[in-house]
A = this chain, B = another copy of it.
Amino acid sequence: MSTDDVAVMTTDDAWRLLDGCVFGRLGVSVHDDPDIFPVNVHVDASARTILLRTAEGTKLSSLAVNERVVFETDAFTSRVGWSVIAKGRARVLVGTDEILRADQAPLQPWIPTLKTQYVEITVDRISGRRFAIGPEPERIVS
């Protein structure tokens, strides 16, 4: 893979892009059966956390079995794109104080339903890549 076409971001750059992000995809896995959910988030780059809100359901039941999660967000035009991947551990907020703090976060729900459970991901690994989009070089047929 040519590094002219894919540029690995610094961790700071990846956090900067993640910091403005309000929407992405949560990847979870139960017994190595991976699943993805579109989610709204609030990112706190200084605390290295990603907050999301969810109703009871598959997402929460996955977290009870396996707290390892991955969050992905990306943006692209027809010419350039980027993707940031943040991995970490998720937990459901249960303390009154932390729930009240989470209530203050500018967390836009993607859908107007009542979602009373907060999940906070503590990020321990982040990576990001920028892409230049174009035709593939000719493959040599051997």
Question: Quick check: B68 and A32 within 8 Å, CB to CB?
Answer: yes
With a CB–CB cut-off of 8 A, which chain B residues contact A23? 76
Copy total for this chain = 2
Q: Is A33's beta carbon under 8 Å from chain B?
A: yes
CA distance A47 to B110 in the complex (A): 33
CB distance from A13 to the nearest CB of B (A): 17
Q: Which residues of B contact A55 (CB under 8 A)?
A: 1
Q: In the complex, what residue of chain B is closest to A62 when comparing beta carbons?
A: B34
A14 adjacent to chain B (CB < 8 Å): no
> Is A5 close to B, CB under 8 A?
yes
**A31 within 8 Å of B by Cβ?**
yes
**For residue A72, which residues in chain B have a CB less than 8 angstroms away from its CB?**
25, 36, 38
CB-CB contacts below 8 Å: A1-59 with B: 1-2, 5-6, 23, 25, 27-36, 38, 55, 57
- Considering the chains assembled together, what is the distance between the CA atoms of A125 and B2 in angstroms? 35
- Taking a contact as CB atoms under 8 Å apart, the answer to whether A35 and B85 are in contact is yes
Is B111 in contact with A137, judged by CB distance below 8 angstroms?
Answer: no
Question: Which 4 pairs across A and B sit closest by C-beta, in order of nearness?
Answer: A29-B29, A36-B72, A112-B134, A29-B34
| A-B residue pairs in contact (CB < 8 Å), sample of 7 | A1-B57, A1-B115, A27-B35, A27-B70, A112-B134, A114-B136, A115-B136
